Amino acid sequence: MSSNKTNINLWKRIAQIAGIFAFVISVILIINYAQYKTIDPVNTELINSLVENLNHNPADSLLRQQIRTVDLLSRKAYFTNQWQVRTGGYLLLLSLAVLVIAMQIIKSNTPKEVVVGETENSFLEQKNARKWISISGIVLVGIALFLALLTHNDLSNEFTIASMKDGGVDAPVENKVSDNETVIIKDSSEKEDIVLNDDTEKAEEVEEVVSNTKEQAQEVKTEKKIVAETNEKKAVVEPEKKLSEYPSEEEIIGNHPSFRGPGGNGISYRKNIPISWDATTGDNVVWKVEIPLHGYNSPIIWEDKIFVSGANSAQREVYCIDRNSGKILWTGEVKDIEGSPATSPEVTEDTGQAAPSLTTDGRRVYAIFANGDIIAFDMEGNRVWARNLGDPNNHYGHSSSLMLYQNVLIVQYDIKKSPKVMGLDFSTGKTLWETPRKVKVSWASPVVVNTGNRTEVILFAEPSVDSYDPLTGKLNWSVKCTYGEVGPSVAYADGLVFAVNEYAKLVAIKTGENPEILWESTDYMSDVPSPVATEELMFMATSYGVYLCYDAKTGDILWEQENDNGFYSSPMMVEGKIYLMDMQGIMHIFKASREYESIGDCPLGEDGMTTPAFADGKIYIRGNKHLFCIGK
């Protein structure tokens, strides 16, 4: 009996300590919230003020250094505050758990007392007092947890906005396979690659006959039109020859079919690209055309056709433009899609409703918008299929571009609720596979590369860089390496994946069966532009105006340059040169070499934040209003 009483007293003491600890933590969390509302730990007003001053005095090197110093202090303040809030919340929950366990043990081991006589009223008063103390404690703890969550989220949003303003403009945008990774396979079917004969190269616009009658009829119509047009040009076309099911590697690298070129890796294989123009005077501007609806997606190219999209809260459209004349050949309306929301989601002005770039395989062109609508048109502008993927649900607007591999349309859908990567059948839009992802919201885009033994699709989002099989969605590998909201896509070269995120770090990951981080750096980081790499070098730009070159194998900085304007456009490499456009539309061209050598700075005449596309002898640039063709 004495031993039981001792145990009860011990648990009473534990309960008291846990209760006092929970009370203290709750008070600290509430005070922390009050301090956050009165004292800004991120100091956004100071950062923004310094950046605004730099815009007026771009040559002030001392001011640049002050910005970097304040920026570094802000990072430390942000992560310290976030750690304090998270740790306080965890400690509060732990103390509550200990308190509840102790109270249960005390209750189960305390014999019930019969209350009689004069002590009854006193007992009831004590019981009521304990009841109200418990209710007050629960309310206090609830308020503390709510304010902790509010502090964490508000600070994260404020810090993100501050970081995106570094360039002077608000921004849009275990080292093993997890045992719990699940892959959902739907409507999967094997497809053979039908190789295109050499003598059918001039029949590439003839639509392949597919399973349903409607598409067969459309193909016949398309074939007749192509034959008629070709006969007018006195060329020979054999309509019975069909395109292969999906394009060969030679066809892909011979075009610019997606954001940042073939595979989305930032490299173009075109030739004779111009290095000098001035759109303000018209020098070397072949044509320019105004795009009816605004969009921040970059142009893509298949042979003589360019594709972009535009949208506002009421309309969504896809445009096909003649590459040689600038004439808009057709406009595809995106409407009457089952499941499409009645109202468009709220997005920031500098992301908009049409941020993701399109992709094409020369058979169809595919587009996705901020409301989750995804659609495919044939090359003549006829709608093939459309569906809604659900609300993308993020606080800037959806901006992950589309990517193709063989018969699979790859969609990175890293949204707030149920993030995932999807593989859709390119001819029907049906889901072939769907892989859930344990990541946070990301605005990066898929990159498809051959790493030697296999083709992989590589995605980037907090907390990891992940590789998947593009045909099945199976996770190949995952490396945890980042935190924060991810905007840049990765770059790949010679077995290395380069991933960078603002207020986190830059990492080089060695791929293979046991991927590992080769090196990492925190000197310069990007929140929007994606890097590009060769076997020896890696090039990167920041939104606040610095662009630089790293040794790809060691991470050493070989050179760095400061620009008066920031960058949202990603650097593109072509013919041993880097093309990098700043936010005022000035294209900076320099050699892809270990020493900086400028080739030229070419103005567009209007602001721009997109990434250029290339064809032999031409470069195509989308400004904020017009699409430009640059050439001789």
Q: pLDDT at residue 202 above 50?
A: no
Smallest CA-to-CA distance from 202 within 235, 251, 247, 249 is with: 235
Question: Span 274-302, mean pLDDT?
Answer: 97
pLDDT computed for residue 101 by the predictor:
85
Half-sphere exposure of 422 (CA within 13 A, CB side): 21
Radius of gyration of the chain (CA): 29
Q: pLDDT at residue 100 above 90?
A: no
Is the bond preceding 463 in cis, omega lying within 30 degrees of 0? yes
Half-sphere exposure of 433 (CA within 13 A, CB side): 21
- Indicate the DSSP class of residue 45: H
Half-sphere exposure of 622 (CA within 13 A, CB side): 27
pLDDT digits (tens, 9 = 90+) for 388-415: 999 888 889 999 999 999 999 999 999 9
Q: Measured at the alpha carbon of residue 396, what is the angle toward residues 424 and 431, in degrees to the nearest 5?
A: 10
Question: Cβ distance 242 to 216 under 8 Å?
Answer: no
What is the average pLDDT value for the chain, to the nearest integer?
81
What is the distance, to the nearest Å, from the Cα of residue 246 to the centroid of all Cα atoms in its chain?
26
pLDDT computed for residue 73 by the predictor:
62
DSSP states along 463-498? TEEEEE-TTT--EEEEEE---S-B-PPPEEETTEEE
Half-sphere exposure of 130 (CA within 13 A, CB side): 7
pLDDT computed for residue 183 by the predictor:
43
Question: Cβ distance 443 to 469 under 8 Å?
Answer: no
pLDDT computed for residue 54 by the predictor:
66
Confidence of residue 129 (pLDDT cuts 50, 70, 90): low
Strand partners, 348: none
% residues pLDDT > 90 (the chain): 58
Q: Where are the alpha helices (DSSP H) in 110-196?
A: 119-164
What is the distance, to the nearest Å, from the Cα of residue 284 to the centroid of all Cα atoms in its chain?
34
CA pseudo-torsion sign 49, 51, 55, 58 = positive
Burial letters 67-95, b for 16+ CB under 10 A, else e: beebbeebbebbeebbebbeebbebbeeb
Tokens 């965890």 belong to 90
Confidence of residue 175 (pLDDT cuts 50, 70, 90): very low
pLDDT computed for residue 219 by the predictor:
47
261 phi, psi to nearest 5 deg: 85, -165
How is the chain split into domains, by residue range? 2-109+126-167, 184-188+246-630, 198-232
Cα 387 to Cα 199, 275, 376, 424: the distances in Å are 37, 42, 9, 11
| 377 three-state secondary structure | strand
pLDDT digits (tens, 9 = 90+) for 221-248: 444 444 444 444 433 344 444 678 999 9
Contacts 24+ apart (CB under 8 A), 186-194: 186/430, 186/431, 186/432, 186/433, 186/434, 187/425, 187/430, 187/431, 187/432, 188/432, 188/433, 188/472, 191/245, 191/406, 191/407, 192/245, 193/244, 193/245, 193/246, 193/248, 193/406, 194/242, 194/244, 194/245
Helix (H) or strand (E) holding 306: strand 305-311
In CATH, 184-188+246-630 is 3.30.360.10: no
Question: Cβ distance 551 to 533 under 8 Å?
Answer: no
CA pseudo-torsion sign 141, 143, 149, 151 = negative
pLDDT digits (tens, 9 = 90+) for 315-344: 999 999 999 999 999 999 999 999 999 999
pLDDT digits (tens, 9 = 90+) for 464-520: 999 999 999 999 999 999 999 899 999 999 999 999 999 899 999 999 989 999 999
Cα 544 to Cα 156, 223, 558, 560: the distances in Å are 20, 50, 19, 13
Higher pLDDT, 220 or 49: 49
Question: Cβ distance 595 to 560 under 8 Å?
Answer: no
pLDDT computed for residue 80 by the predictor:
65
Contacts 24+ apart (CB under 8 A), 431-434: 431/186, 431/187, 432/185, 432/186, 432/187, 432/188, 432/408, 432/473, 433/183, 433/184, 433/185, 433/186, 433/188, 433/472, 433/473, 434/183, 434/184, 434/186, 434/473
- Pairwise CA distance, residues 294 & 277, whole Å: 24
Strand partners, 508: 498, 519
- Indicate the DSSP class of residue 593: S
What is the distance, to the nearest Å, from the Cα of residue 361 to the centroid of all Cα atoms in its chain?
22
- Pairwise CA distance, residues 109 & 12, whole Å: 11
User: Residue 126: CB partners within 8 Å, gap ≥ 6?
Assistant: none
Question: Span 103-111, mean pLDDT?
Answer: 74
Question: Cβ distance 334 to 365 under 8 Å?
Answer: no
Q: pLDDT at residue 538 above 90?
A: yes
Whether the model pTM is above 0.85? no
Using CB atoms within 10 A of its CB, is residue 65 exposed (0-12), middle (13-18) or buried (19+)? exposed
pLDDT digits (tens, 9 = 90+) for 43-89: 556 666 766 676 666 666 676 666 666 665 665 565 566 667 677 77
Q: Which two structure tokens, joined as six digits, stand for 208?
A: 């392949």
pLDDT computed for residue 169 by the predictor:
36
Using CB atoms within 10 A of its CB, is residue 180 exposed (0-12), middle (13-18) or buried (19+)? exposed
Q: Which two structure tokens, joined as six digits, stand for 564?
A: 């008066």
